[in-house]
Amino acid sequence: PEPATPRIVTEIPGPKSRQLIKELGKIQNVGAVHFFCDYDVSCGNYLVDVDGNVMLDLFTQISSLPLGYNHPAMIKAVTDPSNLSTFVNRPALGIYPPADWVGRLQAALLSVAPPKMHHVQTMACGACSVEHGMKAMFIKFMTERRGSATLTPEEMSSAKEGQPPGCPNLAVLSFNNSFHGRTMGCLGITHSKYIHKLDLPVPDWPVARFPELKYPLDDHVRENQEEERRCLAMVEELIDTWNRKGLPVAAVAVEPIQGEGGDNMASRDFFQGLRDITNKCGIGLLVDEVQTGCGATGLFWAHEHFRLSDTPDVVTFSKKMLTGGFFSKESFVPKDGFRVFNTWVGDPSKAALLEAVVNVIKGDNLLDRVKVTGQHLLNGLKQMQGKYPGLISKARGLGTHCAIDFKDAASRDKTIAKLRERGVHTGSCGAATLRLRPALILENKHVDIFMESFDRVLANM
Amino acid sequence: PEPATPRIVTEIPGPKSRQLIKELGKIQNVGAVHFFCDYDVSCGNYLVDVDGNVMLDLFTQISSLPLGYNHPAMIKAVTDPSNLSTFVNRPALGIYPPADWVGRLQAALLSVAPPKMHHVQTMACGACSVEHGMKAMFIKFMTERRGSATLTPEEMSSAKEGQPPGCPNLAVLSFNNSFHGRTMGCLGITHSKYIHKLDLPVPDWPVARFPELKYPLDDHVRENQEEERRCLAMVEELIDTWNRKGLPVAAVAVEPIQGEGGDNMASRDFFQGLRDITNKCGIGLLVDEVQTGCGATGLFWAHEHFRLSDTPDVVTFSKKMLTGGFFSKESFVPKDGFRVFNTWVGDPSKAALLEAVVNVIKGDNLLDRVKVTGQHLLNGLKQMQGKYPGLISKARGLGTHCAIDFKDAASRDKTIAKLRERGVHTGSCGAATLRLRPALILENKHVDIFMESFDRVLANM
Ligand code: FES
């Protein structure tokens, strides 16, 4: 059963973690390793490290656990004899899918597809989902330009070489403070921290400003509307400029909430504006829900909050979805095989786990729970910012996907460390933001444990 | 138990496969889907499709099954209660590794590391392995150029934008007919089929010729030496040209055998030459063993056949290794964290399966078996090309990683189809090559079944 409270018995990382970090350091870089965990005994919302520290986990493996640790339904999926061959025999899914694959796609993915999206392609992680989602958009863009013309020998031979006309000069527009992954194409649309791209030759593509909204939102309605209009105008201008300089923008990529870059949010109007601009220009709109998808915002997909008049063209997912992949409009499904393709194109064993997760989300009404718990969490954060006004601000979020800003990085980092000493594990993002990424099973009682510790830590800052 | 012989009861794809392809076609592009499989009853070297056809599988999910279907050791790894939490709780491995992770890396990966390589980084598939392997080489290259100088503010801010000096202009040199993956960086070093890159903006990097050897090798020793010398000279020339045009070559990427581009092989001298040139120029050498690694050539790594005087800098793997990743020299391990990084950086459940596989390879002396079976297979192929000289040629391979060329694509494709009608499933690559990629458990008796069918099919061509 899930522990009732956190329990801290050593500093973190403790002696056993430090020993293991030392050993792992002989094998690879361990600059990012924080502590080692005992996943056998971790349970529900509680993560247990190898030194026996029991932490309330509000970061959940960089936002990648839908149901916390060792959920009975996931244990059942792994131990179910009818799933055994799915875990043992990973197929080349794009050529030789298993007998139950269509049913699995329907139960695990189409049953939770974004409104009006009926096509899905599995992948294995967030990066390949975004890379292949972009490929689908490039292919659509060029197929339309080519029209009914057949491929020329020159297009074919130059494509093999990696040169125009077969490999055209095309760009994807993205936003400042975005994060979409760490392979080369994904890095071309990622602009959050310099260390992600330093020393790497990445595509130099247009970057628009993402709205920087003033909080509380109710007190800055007009300023924020103007800010969003400026950002949208910049998008239009960049598309125009880059088209004219011979590097056409084939698509725009955006996160519903910029999860790594500082939990930056924008309004429905902004996203509707992006949809309108991209439709008007005949280019694709990729909404990257790798971090926001799978219910954390209280709706299954964060972009559902925007009630767009037309669906995005591509919606990517991974993390809590356990499998990577993307939904797309039918018109963005390549007409030929072997274009959005690789050896595995996903993993049926992850889809089997996702099917179990989706059934729990539906059966336990977890989206409703997330809405309730999220409201409680956001209320608490707002109360805290009222109590510590010089220190924290901009409490914000959807569902339990919440964040709050600190006056500077140092106070943010110190707060996270002090929270951990009290057994509450949280995350950071952006310049001075504390981010909360709990599992969908979080309850008000867990929020209360966090909020009591948060209050005490802030009081001592 | 494994079937004794193939058994074909319908055409392939049969009616059940065709029905499922139709249903899947409503959800995604199915241009690459061949037939649906029943993985519950597939066993050992035999794949069973949903229509009940039992095929001897010499292609094994694009070369990705080390031990065939439903091997008892892999079933044991999945059902072992001590592995349960590993399959249920996928961690953010780069920050919160599980307690047994160092031991797992040692047992599953370092115990089979290429000679003199002691550092390994897990990834999740071939593409991210190559992408991050290239990143490690770019980082090494620029870190050396920077020397003791600290980062300038301009380097940091331009890196976030994706522009020099933070994101420098750098290239990786690769070879004609290479294949390294389908994300943008991987596509920059891939030159096998135009459809892989058509319509996609991929890096335009230098491409050298891969040796085109004349067979039988013994009859063309001098010509082949000259051909390899010409290709190496082209590598040196391209490095020089691209350096002078301001797009320095930071690394060379090469497959020990070009697995997608036509099973093209080169000699030890060629690979030693590449190692010498890259060392002389102070640039990295990435040997991509995604398809060749894990024992199929009779040695665990194909590049071991070359007995290089100095190890490659990066050796990538995936497919039969079940987990992606790369080994590297210590000097190619980035000094800072969060550079070769992503949410999952691999999957401990795949490492658990790999550990079981490695124990079987060692315990059952499978590399010895591959050598014996491979010799039998290659002898058979040579006999066939003696018998059908106008039709097939260039029988070649290492271990059971074998191939033979046809006079044209049509006769190759027809042979593969006719073989399948007789229950032997093989693969194609390059322009007119039939490739064999059996599991490591293949035995002489399976080779005999293939060879008898091959003989009959060729006799009727
Ligand atoms: S790039 Fe996604 S799993 Fe490798």
- Tens of pLDDT, residues B387-434: 999 999 999 999 999 999 999 999 999 999 999 999 999 999 999 999
DSSP result, A207-235: EEPPP---SSGGGGHHHHHHHHHHHHHHH
Task: Indicate if the alpha-carbon torsion angle A322, A324, A330, A333 is positive or negative.
Answer: negative
Catalytic residue (one of B343, B362, B387, B445): B343
Q: Which of A78, A120, A139 sits opposite B87 (nearest CB)?
A: A78
SS3 B401: strand
pLDDT digits (tens, 9 = 90+) for A363-414: 999 999 999 999 999 999 999 999 999 999 999 999 999 999 999 999 999 9
Q: Which whole-number Å values give the CA distances from B249 to A162, A263, B134, B142, B244, in the listed order? A: 16, 38, 12, 11, 10
Q: What is the pLDDT of residues B419-432, one digit of tens each?
A: 999 999 999 999 99
Which of A158-162, A365-369, A449-453, B177-181 has the lowest average pLDDT? A158-162
* A170 contact residues in B (CB cutoff 8 A): 200-201
What is the mean predicted confidence (pLDDT) over A13-30? Answer: 98
> Which residue among A70, A125, A341 sits closest to B85, beta carbon to beta carbon?
A70
Which of A123, A150, A160 is the best residue to mutate to test the B interface, defined by the most B CB atoms within 10 Å of its own CB?
A: A160
Query: Positive or negative, the Cα torsion across A266, A269, A275, A281?
Result: negative
B417 burial level (CB within 10 Å; 0-12, 13-18, 19+): exposed
Task: Report the pLDDT value the prediction gives residue A222, as an integer from 0 to 100.
Answer: 98
- Chain B nearest C-alpha distance from A193 (Å): 6
Q: Which of A121, A128, A180 to mutate to test the pocket of ligand 1 (most atoms within 8 A of CB)?
A: A128
Of B138, B179, B317, B332, the active-site residue reads: B179
Q: Assess contact for A438 and A66: CB atoms under 8 A.
A: no
> Which A residues in the span 165-204 are in contact with B, Cβ-Cβ below 8 Å?
166-171, 181-188, 191-204
A-contacting residues in B 312-331 (Cβ below 8 Å): 318-319, 322
Residue A148 is predicted with a pLDDT of: 86
* Chain A hits for B37, Cβ within 8 Å: 91, 96-99
Q: Locate the chain B residue with the closest alpha carbon to A189.
A: B162
Q: What percent of chain B has pLDDT over 90?
A: 99
* Catalytic residue (choose from A140, A319, A371, A394): A319
Contact flag A125-B342 (C-beta cutoff 8 Å): yes
- Distances in Å between the alpha carbon of B356 and those of A88, B321, B344, B359? 11, 11, 21, 5
* Residue B404: predicted pLDDT: 98
Res A335: pLDDT: 94
Tell me, yes or no, if A103 comes closer than 8 A to chain B by beta carbon: no
What 8-state DSSP symbol labels residue B109? Answer: I
Q: What is the mean pLDDT of chain B?
A: 97
The Cα–Cα gap between A239 and A439 comes to 38
- CA distance to A402, A406, A412, B380, per residue, from A392 (Å): 14, 5, 9, 75
Q: Are A317 and A290 in contact (CB under 8 A)?
A: yes
For tokens 């520290």, name the residue: A53
Helix A348-363 and helix A72-79, axial crossing angle in degrees, nearest 10: 140
CA distance B396 to B453: 19
Q: What is the pTM of this model?
A: 0.98
Which of B128, B290, B322 gets mutated to test ligand 1 (max ligand atoms within 8 A of its CB)? Answer: B128
Active site includes A38?
no
Whole-number percent of chain A with pLDDT over 90: 99
- Spell out where A307-423 has E strands: 314-317, 324-328, 392-398, 401-406
* pLDDT, position B380: 98
Residue B128: its pLDDT value, please? 98
> Which helix (H) or strand (E) element contains residue B278?
helix B268-281
Amino acid present at A189: I
The answer, for A87 touching chain B at a CB cutoff of 8 Å, is yes
In this prediction, residues A439-449 reach a mean pLDDT of 98
Name the token pair of B147: 């020397």
Q: What contacts A146, CB < 8 A, 6 or more positions away?
A: none
Q: Could you tell me if A431 lies within 8 Å of chain B, comparing CB atoms? A: no
**Minimum Cα–Cα distance from A109: chain B residue:** B27
Q: Is the pLDDT of residue A348 over 90?
A: yes
Q: Say whether B179 is catalytic.
A: yes
- Residue of B27, B37, B106 lying closest to A99 (CB–CB): B37
At A112, give phi and psi (nearest 5°).
Answer: -120, 20
- Candidate of B125, B317, B344 to mutate for ligand 1, largest count of ligand atoms within 8 Å of Cβ: B125
Phi, psi (degrees; rounded to nearest 5) at A351: -65, -35
* Average pLDDT of the segment spanning B350-372: 98
Q: Do B191 and A161 touch (CB under 8 A)?
A: yes
DSSP bridge pairs for B123: B324
Identify whether A288 is a catalytic site residue: yes
Ligand 1, CB within 6 Å, residue ranges: A 124-125, 127-128, 183; B 124-125, 127-128, 183
The answer to whether B23 and B42 are in contact (CB under 8 A) is no
Q: What is the mean pLDDT of chain A?
A: 97
Q: Do B69 and A89 touch (CB under 8 A)?
A: yes
pLDDT in tens, A88-132: 999 999 999 999 999 999 999 999 999 999 999 999 999 999 999
Contact call for residues B87 and A87 (beta carbons, < 8 A) = yes
Is the per-residue pLDDT at A234 higher than 90? Answer: yes
B144: exposed, middle or buried (Cβ count in 10 Å: 0-12, 13-18, 19+): exposed
Q: Which of A306, A251, A259 is nearest to A277 (CA)?
A: A251
Cβ contact, residue pair B62, A32, below 8 Å: no
Q: Which of A57, A263, A288, A347 is catalytic?
A: A288
Task: Dump pLDDT digits (tens) for A267-325.
Answer: 999 999 999 999 999 999 999 999 999 999 999 999 999 999 999 999 999 999 999 99
The A424-425 sheet, strands edge to edge: A46-48, A54-57, A424-425
**Looking at the predicted structure, is the pLDDT value of residue B148 above 90?**
no
- The active-site residue out of A240, A343, A368, A445 is A343
Contact list, B429 vs chain A (CB under 8 Å):
none
Q: From residue A260, how far is each of A391, A437, B244, B417 by CA, in Å?
A: 21, 12, 38, 50
Q: A90 contacts in B (CB within 8 Å)?
A: 61, 64, 322
Q: Which of B 121-150 lie inside 8 A of A, CB atoms? A: 121, 124-128, 131-132, 135, 138-139, 141-143
